[in-house]
Amino acid sequence: MKTHFTINGQAASLDLDPRTTLLDALRERLDLKGSKKGCDHGQCGACTVLVNGQRINACLSLAVTHEGDEITTIEGLAQGEALHPVQAAFLEHDAFQCGYCTPGQICSTIGMLKEAADGWASLATDDLTADTVLTDEEIRERMSGNLCRCSAYPQILAAIRSAGGLA
């Protein structure tokens, strides 16, 4: 099935078996292997990408459903040699060990910071109608969909804290 989307600013069109997930289309058809397949069942967040600015799990989304969508992966964040501020913060704070979860962590962070900027609440929000303040507890709760088997969580938290507002 012919499907057209924009990936990292470039138009792409693929003839897809409807069974293809967005993650497999990115990795196997477009050779964008930055998005990782950890679990393939929505349980780890390694496949997180941005679709029209929102973070989703690419492993549970069929690629044919993305007709006309704007998709951003880890490969599309830097401007030439200049890293995206969230990428720079992860480097600065040493927010990874093996790096497998990192592309998903970074895409998720960018989506999460936009959600917070838009005033979305989380389960860590005491007053649901108050303005969003990204405390450490808030960041942990909002990022719980991204697991890190190396347990770099303290550094990831520090990176996000410093990147907050920059994304």
Ligand X SMILES: Cc1cc2nc3c(=O)[nH]c(=O)nc-3n(C[C@H](O)[C@H](O)[C@H](O)COP(=O)(O)OP(=O)(O)OC[C@H]3O[C@@H](n4cnc5c(N)ncnc54)[C@H](O)[C@@H]3O)c2cc1C
Binding-site ranges for ligand X (CB under 6 A): 42-43
When asked if residue 140 is in the footprint of another protein (CB under 8 A), the reply is yes
Q: Which of 8, 158, 159, 165 has its CA nearest to residue 88?
A: 159
The full DSSP string for 14-70 is EE--TT-BHHHIIIIIS----S--SSSSSSS-TTEEEETTEEEEGGGSBGGGGTT-E
Report how far residue 120's alpha carbon sits from residue 51's, in angstroms, rounded to the nearest whole number.
18
* Burial (CB count within 10 angstroms: exposed 0-12, middle 13-18, buried 19+), residue 127: exposed
Pairwise CA distance, residues 110 & 39, whole Å: 22
Choices 38-46, 83-91, 116-124, 126-134 (CB under 6 A): range interacting with ligand FES: 38-46
Q: Which two tokens stand for residue 92?
A: 């600065």
Which residue is it, tokens 């078996």? 17
The answer to whether residue 152 forms part of the interface with another protein (CB under 8 A) is no
The yes or no reply on residue 149 touching ligand FES (CB under 6 A) is yes
- Nearer CB in complex with ligand FES: 47/77: 47
Task: Select from 33-41, 85-93, 119-127, 131-139 the region that touches ligand FES (CB under 6 A).
Answer: 33-41
We find the least distance from the C-beta atom of residue 58 to another protein, in angstroms, to be 9
Residues that bind another protein (CB under 8 A): 1, 17-19, 21, 40-42, 45, 48, 54-57, 60-62, 64-65, 67, 108, 111-112, 115, 118-123, 125, 128-129, 140-146
Residues that bind ligand FES (CB under 6 A): 37-40, 42-47, 57, 59, 96-102, 148-150, 152
